[in-house]
Chains A and B, each alone.
Chain A
Amino acid sequence: ISGSTVIVKVFAITVFICLFRSGVSPLRPICDLRVLEHFIREAQDSEVIMRGCRGGCGAMKSYFVPLTSVDFAFWEHIDVHEQAVEVQTGLSLLVQALSTAMKAVSNSRLASALDNNISNIHSLSQILSTVLPDDSAPASTQSQEVSSLPELLQVQSSFLRGKVRLLLSAAPACQRQNS
C-alpha cells in the first residue's frame, strides 16, 4: 500500500473528523479518539469474521506480535516518547504479521477485512507521528509469538484498545487546555 494512499486516507480522516465533530472537545481534530475507536471496531469485526470462517481461513502459522499488556501503574511512569516508540514499533510488527496472514487467506471476506485493518494501522502510524514525532531511536522492543490467526487478531485488537489509545489520549499535543 503506497504512502500516498495512506496520506490521502489520513487527510480524508481529518476532513471527516472536522465535518462530524460534536463540538464537545476543544482538541485538535487529529486527537479525536473517534477515529481510533472506528479502527478498533473494524479490528473487532475481523475477529467476528474469523470466528465465523469455515474455509480458507489461513494456515496455522506463527506470527511475531507486540506485547499488549498494560499495567496502569507502570504505564503512567513511562515517558510519553518511550510510549510512542513502543507503539510505533508494535504497529509495524502488526502490519507485517497481518500482511503475511492475508497471503494465506483465501476467504474473500476475511481477506478484505484484513486488508482494511492493515490500511487502518498505516493511518494510525501517520496520525501518531504527527502528534508525537518519535525522534528517539527504536528501542529493543519485546515481542511475543502467537501461533494462529485468531490469536493474531486478538493481539491487534488489544494493542489498539490499550497502548495506542492510551498514548493518543495522553499525548501532550492532545491534552485539553482546561483539564
Chain B
Amino acid sequence: YHGIFSLPLAFGGYHLAQLLQDETEHIKCFVEGKDLTCFWEERNNLHHQYTFTYSYENKNKMACAVSSLLASNKTIFFCKLPKTPFFTTLDVQVLRDGRMLYTRSLNAENFLFLDPPRNLTVMSSGKEGQLNVSWLPPPLKYMDDSMIYEVRYAVEGSNMGKVEVVKVSTMLVLLGLQSDTRYKVWVRVKPDGVAYKGYWSAWTEPVFGVTPPSDVDPLIVLLVLFIGLILCLLSLTVILSHHKFLLKKLWPDIPTPEHKFPGLFTVYKGDFKEWMSQNNGSMWGRSVHVYTEELPSLLEVLSEVSRTSHDTSQREEEEEKESESSDSGLTDRWRDPPHAHWLMEQLRALQENPESRCQSSLLQSHDTYVTLNQGDNEQQVDDVFEETLPLQTLFTTTGTSSLSTSHSDLGSLQQSSGSGRLSSQSSFEYPNHTWAPKGPGYAYMAVADSGVSMDYRPMSSSRIAELGRHRMYTNDYKNEICPHKWPLSGQYIKSGSESCTGPVW
C-alpha cells in the first residue's frame, strides 16, 4: 500500500507534489492519517541501495522499508513509518549504499496533510444573494477543534473566484452574491497551527448552488404606485381649490383704477367727460379730491407794476423760457423777455427785506389773490384771513410792490405762484375752479400735485403750512427763485440752479 503514491497522477498525490515543490530539504515528509511518509527523488540510471532510519527520544535507530516509484526521468523513493510518534523530535536519515546521504530532524505533528472535507453541500438560504455552505471535517480524532478551512466560490464558467477563511466552524453563509446565478463552491482544510501544523488539503470536488432570483416584490410595486396616485390626487385637489390664489401669485393682476370709477369703462367706454357729467352729483365729493390736487391755483393780478430795470441778463430770459409746467399745461411762456429781469430785481429786493413783507392777503375760501403793489415799501395787505391763509408769498419789485399769494388750506394743495412779468391785468382764481390762463401777460405757475415734478423758473413758491398757521416766507435767490417742496404733495420742484435754502420757519 503506497498511499497517495499508489497513483502518481492521482489528484491528491499530484497536489502534494506541487505543495512540496518549495521544500528545500532533500527529505520531504508528510503525515497522512496517523502515519508519517518521507520521500526523496533520485535520477534514474543509478542503481543504489537506499536505507532509511529514524530515531527519537534517544532511542535506538529503527529502519523503514523503502519503496520506489518510477516517473519519467526520476525515481521517487519513499518510506512510511509504521508507528509514527508524535510530539517528539524525529531524526531521519537516508543512507545510500551504507553511507549517509540525507538527514533531517522534524516533529511529525507539524507536517499533517489532511484529507479534504466531506459532504460539501450548497443550499439557497432564501434570501437574495446568499448561499448556505456546509461540510464535514475529515475523520481525524483529536483534531476537530484545531482545523481551519478555506471556501472558494466562483460564478459557473468564470475563473475569478473569491476565498473565505473559516475557523473551526464547518459552515459558512456566502453574502453579496449575484441573484439568480449558478455558483461553484470548493472547500479545503488545514491544521490551525497551534497544536498541529501542516499543508493545505486538496480541494473538494466542486458543488453547485443557485442563488434565488431577486425579488421585486409585486406587492411593493403596487403599493408604491398606489401611494403615488394618492399623492397626485391630493396635490391636484389642493391646486384646484386654491387655484385663484395660486393664479394670483403666479400671474398677478395688473391693477386698474376701475373700481374707483364705477361705470367709466363699462358704460362710457372710457369717455371721461361723459362719465363726469353723468356722475357729477353723486361723485362730487370724490372728484373734488381728485381734482383739487391737480387744479392749479389762479392768480388775480390787481394792479400793474411798472418796470424799471433791465439788469437781468438775457440768461434769465432764456431760463424762463425753458421752464414749463407740462402737467397742468397752464404755464405760459414768457412773452416779454425784457420784463423778466426787471422782475428779478424786485424779487431780489424783497429778499433783502424778508421780514417786512410778511403778509397774507385774504381771499375767499378757495380763492387766492396776488397783489402787486407799486412803489410801496410797505406791504399792502388785503384782508387777511388767518384761518384760511396759511401762508403767502411775497414778491416785491424794486419799488415796494409785493406780490402775495395766499392759499386755501385744509390740506388741499394748490399753490401757484405767479411771477414773472406783469403786463396786463388778469385775474387768477384759485383752486376749485377750472383755471384758465389768461393772456401771456402773466406768467404763472400751476402746481399740480404729487407725482409731478416741474421746473419753475424765477418763480417763488410757497410752502403750504399746516392748518391754522400762517407763514411768510421768502426764498433765497441767487438768480432765480428757488422752488420749494410742496409739503402736501411732497413734491420737489426742481430748478436748474443751485440748491436753495429756505427760510426758517
Contact = CB atoms under 8 A, between A and B. Distances in A.
B145 interface: yes
Contacts of B83: 71, 73-74
B85 interface: yes
Contacts, number: 61
Contacts of A106: none
B279 interface: no
B87 A158 contact: yes
A141 interface: no
Interface string A23-46: 010000000010001001100000
A40 B85 contact: no
Contact of A169 (B56, B86, B87, B142): B142
B89 A154 contact: yes
A105 interface: no
A125 B156 CA distance: 54
Contacts of B145: 33, 169
A70 B142 CA distance: 12
Given A24-B169, A144-B58, A169-B142, A72 B194 contact: no
A159 B87 contact: yes
A163 B87 contact: yes
B168 interface: yes
Interface in B69-115: 83-89, 107, 109
Contacts of A158: 87-89, 107
A74 B86 CA distance: 12
Contacts of A69: 56-57, 85-88
Contacts of B195: 37, 40, 161, 165
B34 interface: yes
B471 to A, nearest CB: 100
- A-B pairs, top 8 by smallest CB distance, nearest first, are A162-B87, A69-B88, A69-B85, A158-B87, A37-B194, A161-B195, A70-B86, A68-B87
13 contacts: A24-B169, A37-B146, A67-B57, A68-B57, A68-B88, A69-B57, A71-B83, A71-B84, A73-B34, A158-B88, A158-B89, A162-B88, A169-B145
Interface of A: 24, 33, 37, 40-41, 67-74, 144-145, 154, 158-159, 161-163, 165-166, 169-170
Interface of B: 34, 56-58, 83-89, 107, 109, 141-142, 145-146, 168-169, 194-196
Given A40-B194, A40-B195, 17 more contacts: A24-B168, A37-B146, A67-B88, A68-B87, A68-B88, A69-B56, A69-B85, A69-B88, A70-B86, A71-B85, A72-B86, A72-B141, A161-B195, A161-B196, A163-B87, A169-B142, A170-B142
